[in-house]
Amino acid sequence: MTYRAGRHFLQIPGPTNVPDRVLRAMDMPTIDHRGPDFQAMAKRVLTGIRRVFKTTNPVVIYPGSGTGAWEAALVNTLSPGDLVLMYESGHFASLWKKLAERLGLRTEFIAGDWRHGADAAAIGERLKADAAHEIKAVCVVHNETSTGCVSPISDIRKAIDAAGHPALFLVDTISSLASIDYRHDEWGVDVTVAGSQKGLMLPPGLSFNALSDKAIAAQAGAKMPRSYWAWDEMLAMNPNGFFPSTPATNLLYGLDAALEMLDEEGLENVFARHQRHAAATRAAVEAWGLEVLCADPAQHSGALTAVLMPDGKGADALRKTILENFDMSLGAGLSKLADRIFRIGHLGDYNDLTLVGTLGGVEMGLKLAGVKHRSGGVDAAMAILAAAAPAEARQAAE
């Protein structure tokens, strides 16, 4: 094999690049997960993660993927045959629906075009029509990773309330938590689902359920089979800093460090950074003469940008060209969008120069792959970034 100098650019929308500080924190001897040192760390993590979800209620942490967190949200609150209302915002909303059906739940899917987030009005109208309250839960993906569209969670909560419907509200934040503003308590979410490998800047391996009082109470009547994913033993042991089964100790070390980093930067600054990078990326796409997949500017994602390929050109060939020539990975189009789009991830531990390098790789790749485009995308992005530079830096330049 030929050595490739420099670092690989992992610019998919998750897993994201793991910061050195987190890697160093994970590179520790595994300790007794029933001992006092672990207990102190676990209490710190279980408290700190609530700040990221913006909740005062418990957050349950499992060794597992986001898919496991989907399952935990469903099996702890529902019974076999219950009807769940979901919205087809993209590939991952479709996968959550498939998982629900495999668990024995009935699903109703409000059709979407994969270019918009969930429609709060459509959800509200369906709930108003459900006079018998047959629908037991509404499930929505906040940031659809396959499309780069953000659903208006606060508006959906208002639509549920306006319909006077008692359905539980379950939200997937796997690619939005710690990247895009999210408010579990304020927005009245009952279960928020998340994973470790995106905005939290960790490798895959931890999954999360943030809970409301209503969700915790729903356990009593829920009849879905559950053991590993059950909340009750977790909720009983977590206040003392322990877990009912063996936790992912070293990933929790990393989470402890990641929470420190988020606190030091400040969540609002983290969100602003992601929005700035997203705006710069979209400016580059527009300058290239290409089209952002998400059709509603109000729903543009701060975590990733999905870009439509011109007619007659495949996205996979472009991604292959960029990987082979510039050692950069971009996200593929999934299911309905296969080979039609490429996705630029700009979330997690990510700064202005990383974005400029990413967009430079894309622009060079477009030229090498023979994709019709205009030059100047990187310049357009840099103009956005320079205009948003810290005030003291601009004053010094003047």
**Lookup: tokens for 292:** 């952002």
pTM of the entire structure? Answer: 0.96
Check whether 180 has a pLDDT greater than 70.
yes
pLDDT in tens, 133-177: 999 999 999 999 999 999 999 999 999 999 999 999 999 999 999
Only one residue has tokens 């009983």, namely 236
Superfamily for domain range 9-16+266-397: Aspartate Aminotransferase, domain 1 (3.90.1150.10)
Cα 89 from Cα 94, distance rounded (Å): 8
Write the DSSP symbol of residue 124.
H
What pLDDT, on the 0 to 100 scale, is given for residue 168? 99
Other residues' Cβ atoms within 10 Å of the Cβ of residue 364: 16
Give which of 42, 37, 22, 48 is closest to 267, Cα–Cα. 48
Q: Which CATH number fits domain 20-263: 3.40.190.150, 3.40.50.720, 3.40.640.10, 3.90.79.10?
A: 3.40.640.10
Report the DSSP pairing between strands 9-11 and 328-332.
Answer: parallel
Whether 136 contacts 165, CB under 8 Å = no
Check whether 394 has a pLDDT greater than 50.
no
Check whether 397 has a pLDDT greater than 80.
no
Write the DSSP symbol of residue 239.
G
Q: Where are the domains of the chain?
A: 9-16+266-397, 20-263
* Per-residue pLDDT band at 396 (split at 50, 70, 90): very low
pLDDT in tens, 355-391: 999 999 999 999 999 999 999 999 999 999 999 876 5
Is 343 marked as a binding-site residue?
yes
Cα 332 from Cα 287, distance rounded (Å): 22
Report the DSSP pairing between strands 304-308 and 168-172.
Answer: unpaired
Average pLDDT, the chain: 96
